[in-house]
Amino acid sequence: MHFDIKAPLLPELVALHGRWYPDKPAVIDESSSLSWGELDQRSNAVANGLAGLGIGRGDAVAIIMGNCVEYVEVLYGIFKAGAVAVPLNLSVSAEGLAAMMEDAGARAAFFTAAEFERIASKLAGLGQLNTSLVLGGENVGGIDYQGWRQQQDGSAPGVEIGEDDPCNIIYSSGTTGIPKGIKHVHRRRAQSMYELALAHRYHYGAISICPIGLYSNIAWASLFCSLIVGGTCVIQSRFDVDSWIKTVQHYGVTHTMMVPLQFQRILESPNFSPQAVASLQAIISGGSPLYEQLKQQVTDQFGCAVIELYGLTEGFMTTLQPEEAEGRPGSVGKPVRGHDYIILDDEDQPLPWGSTGEICVRSVHWMVEYHNRPDATRDTMYLDSEGRQWLRTGDIGRVDEEGYLYIVDRKKDMILSGGQNIYPADIEAVMIEHPAVSEVAVIAVADPTWGETPVALVVPRAGEPTPSEEELTAWTNERVGRRQKIRTTVYRDDLPRNPNGKILKRELRSEYESKNG
């Protein structure tokens, strides 16, 4: 005879916090809040309600909702039911949402009213979808979510969740192609959040703020790290700079994870001051490059630990902690514990430190597969000489002599000009230093002589004199290598981005080609 116990999974942590910290705030939005006890009871009701609809282990349930505390109770309720959560990006068209629901095989879906209204006409064509529950849906159709939940039993559902049971399908950002459904299982998802909570220095008293849509893996990081430690997560319906600053002050926010553009907008606000964010203890920047100049400004003005993260929704993380940042501008650090990476050349041969190549990773919490895409799963897998599996990231990285990683660019964004590889990120890093440049994306366009050549798409910085496109092109070409010279600069009002802050260069290339032939 011996003692035997399994580490708690995410739905079990909700129940434990509900038992031991019933009155402690768990999640807060602009109009309401839930304690851990209330969140546990409400998520139980959702799980029992789903069971009453015949939905249980392995069944996909879509979430198409704006940020609110109800989103969180629905998400944890799906987990407790043993079902698979499918959070969908609200910026996607109704046709795109329906296609992802069909691909996931969603049997039920939760909506906020506005989202239900725009997609309602597409739902009849989804063969497996049986139930639509709508928050605030009294007058728009579907089942009224609040009334439905209140009718359900709030006691523990008693569903045994297996460590290898799927917990979510998150559709990729589609920065270089059609989105794919990334499937995680419960144990790996929980493990990823333990690792991130340690790296982000979370603790019982942590209060995080999440201004990113809860369909995003970055938003889940803030939410689940709070779950790991029994902290509090403040959710904003959208990112508004002044509201973010006021909320940080009001609640004494200690942690946040955002994309670089959000940090930039905060620093540009006339309402920002170091005193306004004095409660912050640790912040993570992820999703896209944190350029050296902006990182220094964030470090100087925020006065807390600034951690740069490189990660994949598929499952992998590196961090550069502030204690190791000096002398390593541009680095995203080393793998968090339990992770590993190698660099491959164009012939799929591992390269030594000091080299540049495609990043391939191993992780204790990587996905199990791309849903319904064995071809994509297979194409992403690399087997080394010992038969070990690695996941191809599609990113080009450089590793220095001490093992610190530097992201060079997306492999598919690389420009092949006159037989030479040109990395747009190198050019972007130069152009962002111009005081008139707020955002920049460099893309490849066809060239009759060189095959491809770089073009820069730029969002001017407000309040700064804007040079002509020709002047900015000349300024840039004086500072980049001979092979890196850009053909032209084009000013834009904004750059399309996914929920994780990554610029959608595929859309930019398509738009540029349609306008310029």
What does DSSP say about strands 207-210 and 255-258: parallel, antiparallel, or unpaired? parallel
Number of other residues whose CB lies within 10 A of the CB of residue 499? 21
CA pair distance 228, 206, nearest whole angstrom: 11
- pLDDT tens sequence across 154-206: 999 999 999 999 999 999 865 445 679 999 999 999 999 999 999 999 999 99
The enclosing H or E element of 242 equals helix 241-251
176 or 99, which is more confident = 99
Cα end-to-end span (Å), the chain:
75
In percent, the amount of the chain with pLDDT more than 70 equals 98
Yes or no: say if 226 and 310 are a contact pair by the CB < 8 Å rule.
Answer: no
Backbone angles phi, psi at 255, to 5 degrees: -140, 145
Query: Which range among 98-112, 176-190, 257-271 shows the weakest confidence by mean pLDDT?
Result: 176-190
- Cα separation, 408 vs 406, whole angstroms: 6
pLDDT at position 175, please? 45
pTM above 0.85, yes or no: yes
CA angle 355, 407, 418 (to 5 degrees): 70
- 76 touches 45 (CB < 8 A): no
pLDDT average, residue stretch 320-325: 95
Show the domains of the chain with their CATH numbers. 34-161 (3.40.50.980), 207-409 (3.40.50.12780), 414-516 (3.30.300.30)
pLDDT in tens, 453-502: 999 999 999 989 999 999 999 999 999 888 899 999 999 999 998 776 77
Amino acid symbol at 486: I
The DSSP 8-state label assigned to residue 244 in this structure reads H
* pLDDT average, residue stretch 242-263: 96
Q: Which of 3-7, 102-106, 219-223 has the lowest mean pLDDT?
A: 3-7
Rounded mean pLDDT of 250-255? 98
- pLDDT tens for 391-449 read 999 999 999 999 999 988 888 888 888 777 788 888 998 999 999 999 999 998 988 77
Contacts of residue 347, Cβ cutoff 8 Å, sequence gap at least 6? none
**Alpha helix (H) ranges present in 81-216?**
94-104, 113-123, 145-150, 186-199
Cα distances (angstroms) measured from residue 316 to each of 135, 194, 195, 196, 290: 34, 13, 10, 10, 18
Percent with pLDDT over 90 in the chain: 77
Residue 503 makes CB contacts below 8 A (sequence gap 6+) with 175, 288, 439, 441, 495, 496, 497
Tokens of 9: 């999974």
How far is Cα of residue 29 from the mean position of the Cα atoms in its chain? 20
Kind of pairing between the strands at 255-258 and 232-235? unpaired
Task: Measure the CA angle with vertex 512, ends 510 and 516; round to 5°.
Answer: 120
Residues 6+ apart with CB under 8 A from 184: 166, 167, 168, 170, 192, 315, 365, 367, 368
Taking a C-beta distance cutoff of 8 angstroms, is the pair 9, 161 a contact? yes
